[in-house]
Structure 1
Amino acid sequence: MSTADSQPALTLYTAATTNGWKIAIALEELGIPYKTYLVNLFDNEQKQPWFLKINPNGRVPAITDHKHGDFNVFESGAILHWLVENYDSGHKLWPQDSKHQSETMQWLMFQMAGVGPMQGQASHFVKFAPEKIPYGIKRYTDETKRLYGVLNDHLKGKEYLVNNQLTIADIANFSWILIHGSLDIDIKEFPHLKSWLERILARPAVKRGLCVPVKHEFLDAAMQKAGLPTL
């Protein structure tokens, strides 16, 4: 829970981004007291020397864990794993069985190595490239849709990715797939993925996490375009 009153276990350095939402959602689901620092990406604050001591790559999110000697962790997948290893004794987001733990890591890496990079490149070519490059748009949008198809097939008859339990793998993939509308991807083509997306979006902790550090108008716009209820 984000708090300014009780002693926080962690400081979350973040912005309203897909990778930032992952960590905020996990923190809210686990009920870990934390405080947020909104990193000003438009002023390149993430490249300032003080922040590079926390994350040498100059990206958000990152955390400082005050309960573990002000230990810094960067890369969203590594942060998620750190949180469940150190703060999830009840196995709320991290299965008990070692095989299910491995499956969770497999689907987490699927997002880190596949969905994130491919959808990120699709977003760049669709929305930010100085000129329209049809090959780039088609290449990365098609690959994003292929990855959505893999998830959709896996989710047939399942509530969540692993053992019908919400895990950090679901959170990681959800945060990216939530904004599919910004790429004009029709989620109705992936009915099992759509049901999974709506199931996770209905969780109160997820809704809170999506408003950390602030609710961004881009998110509401993307959700409206996708026909999803706004926060």
Structure 2
Amino acid sequence: MMPITLYGHHAGPNPKKVVMVLEELEIPYEIKFLEFSEMKQPAYESINPNGRVPAIYDPNTKITLWESGAIIEYLVAKYDTERKISFEPDSAEFYQAKQWVHFQASGQGPYFGQAVWFKIHHKEQIQSAVDRYINEIRRVSGVLNGFLEGRKYLVNDKYSYADIVFVPWFEVVTWVAADCIDLEKDFPNVYAWLTNLKSHPAVVEGLGAKSEAPKKL
């Protein structure tokens, strides 16, 4: 099997989700790290017209994909034949896993990302914007915390890609909202869930994929 090419950035949470799945399924891969300026050049926009990471090229199928959720769904559909971190097609769990992946992509990533932008990168401090997105971190964490009451994992109490996709963005909470959100105290079910997830070697490997916290401008 030829290695899949993963395009990423050293500070990007979304490529790390893909690394975790690649590692969990023991799929050979190589990472090509891009600087932000390279993502907006024609060479990369021919791969991902949105000019963001991640994207993959699978030489085994000649398929190029972008958007982390789509990439992960492709990887588990194509390569998780033993259903190690996924579910039987057309089962209730199969669709429930997709539900959580869509919630992560629409409800967690964008809001946590905007919290990072307005707290760390925006040149003008706009407190109302910071407050809005910090509150969204609380809201999303609350949704998960409530659902995880009495549960170990999100889908049928089985460790799956539906859990994995949430991990990287929660890593930003400790430095973007450490002064106002204590996951262990405020969202104990989420904290226990994340602690368990981060005991998996594939998750550890993904979090360590050229990890570096963004610096304030």
Does TM, scored on the shorter chain, surpass 0.5?
yes
Residue 179 of structure 1, CA deviation: 2.2
Q: Which secondary structure does the structure 1 equivalent of 2:152 belong to?
A: coil
Match of 1:186 among 152, 158, 182: 182
Shift of 1:48: 1.4
Q: Is the 8 A contact 2:5 2:31 kept in 1?
A: yes
Structure 1 residue 135: Cα displacement: 0.8
Aligned counterpart in structure 2 of residue 67 of structure 1, from 60, 65, 73: 60
How large is the Cα RMSD of the aligned pairs?
A: 1.6
Structure 2 matches for 1:3-152, cutoff 5 A? 8-16=2-10, 17-41=12-36, 44-69=37-62, 71-96=63-88, 98-152=91-145
Instruction: Work out whether residues 178 and 197 of structure 1, in 8 Å CA contact, stay in contact via their aligned partners in 2.
Output: no
Shift of 1:129: 1.2
- How far apart in 2 are the matches of 1:159 and 1:178? 19
SS in 1 for 2:100: helix
Instruction: Output the amino acid matched with 1:79.
Output: I
TM superposition shift of 1:105: 0.7
Task: Give the match for residue 196 of structure 1.
Answer: 193
Large movers: runs of 4+ above 4 Å: none
Q: Secondary structure at the match of 1:170?
A: helix
Structure 1 residue 102, shift from structure 2 partner? 0.8
User: Where in structure 2 are there 5+ consecutive unaligned residues?
Assistant: none
CA distance in 2, matches of 1:203, 1:15: 23
Q: TM (normalized to structure 1)?
A: 0.86
1:68 match: secondary structure = coil
Amino acid paired to 1:40: E
CA shift for structure 1 position 215: 3.6
Can you give the 5+ residue segments of structure 1 that lack an aligned partner in the other structure?
1-6, 222-231
